[in-house]
Amino acid sequence: MNADALLQACRAYAPAPDAFAGRVILVTGATAGIGRAVARDLVRHGATVILHGRKELALEELYQELKLLGPEPAVVQLDLERAQGPQYQSLTSEIEARYGRLDGILHNAAILGDRSPIEHYDIGLWQRVLLVNLTAPFILTRCLLPLLRKSADASVLFTTSSVGQRGRAYWGAYAVAKSGLEGLAEVLGDELENTQIRVNLINPGGTRTRMRARAFPAENPETVPTADSHTPAFLYLLGPASLNVRGQRVELRAPQPV
């Protein structure tokens, strides 16, 4: 499938009500923005979703909302900025004990950091952004690969940005982390080429989220697509419809600043 056909398939995807029945999928950063929208639609279409977030109250609110829409979700409170090996191992063990496998991961959690020049970028903040946006997805994927291998067909989907493909002034650690994330996805996808695990990247472009508002405070949010408008593409790449889609970088919009 060429890039144009893939983009069309992503945008036009309309999953059957039970398209994700029996599937177990982890969504990081599930309490807001794209993560919340995708998690909600996954549950609506039959998936058992493992909801990751940092704040207990936000996770509880999301859990209460989604349990009414489909299979009961699970909740994982994990601060990616502070988590250490035992927390990741505990998560892996809990998923294995409860479900026995994992059918997909959406790496969506991220922090923006500062819009400032490298010359003045705070060193501590730089380390935090790279830890959350790049190192944590690596650790999660590495720990969970044995459970992905137990799936008949598993999808690992990384959310990226246009600044991950070409860095721009003042995007600092965010751009560098997204560039590294794209490299991680390429290496992982190449290593898993002959397995049942497929790896892809998706760039939603500018989306009406809190992070977008912080990055572009003067922008009229009504001019930016909602997270809901992007969920068909995410579901396409996470589910069985994309069984033969591997090593692709899907651009949902023309290249945008974020």
Give the pLDDT score at 228: 83
- The Cα–Cα gap between 151 and 146 comes to 9
Confidence of residue 258 (pLDDT cuts 50, 70, 90): very low
- Average per-residue pLDDT in the chain? 92
Q: What are the structural domain ranges in the chain?
A: 3-247
The pLDDT tens digits for 220-245 are 766 676 778 899 999 999 999 999 99
- The Cα–Cα gap between 71 and 41 comes to 12
SS3 state of residue 205: coil
**Cβ atoms of residues 99 and 73 within 8 Å:** no
The pLDDT tens digits for 168-199 are 999 999 999 999 999 999 999 999 999 999 99
Residue 157's φ and ψ, nearest 5 degrees, are: -120, 125
The first and second tokens of residue 35, run together, are 């993560």
CA-only gyration radius of the chain, Å: 17
**pLDDT for residue 108 is more than 50:** yes
Give the pLDDT score at 209: 63
Helices 231-238, 33-44: crossing angle, 10 deg rounding: 60
100: left (phi over 0), alpha (psi -120 to 50) or beta: left
**Cβ atoms of residues 156 and 199 within 8 Å:** yes
Give the pLDDT score at 130: 97
pTM: 0.92
Q: In the chain, what's the furthest Cα-to-Cα distance? A: 52
Other C-beta atoms closer than 10 Å to the C-beta of 204 total 25
Catalytic residue among 88, 121, 174, 236: 174
Residue 107's φ and ψ, nearest 5 degrees, are: -85, 100
Residue 250's φ and ψ, nearest 5 degrees, are: -95, 125
- Asked about 121 being catalytic, the answer comes back as no
Q: How far is CA 57 from the centre of its chain?
A: 21
Give the pLDDT score at 213: 60
Query: May I ask the CATH class of domain 3-247?
Result: alpha beta
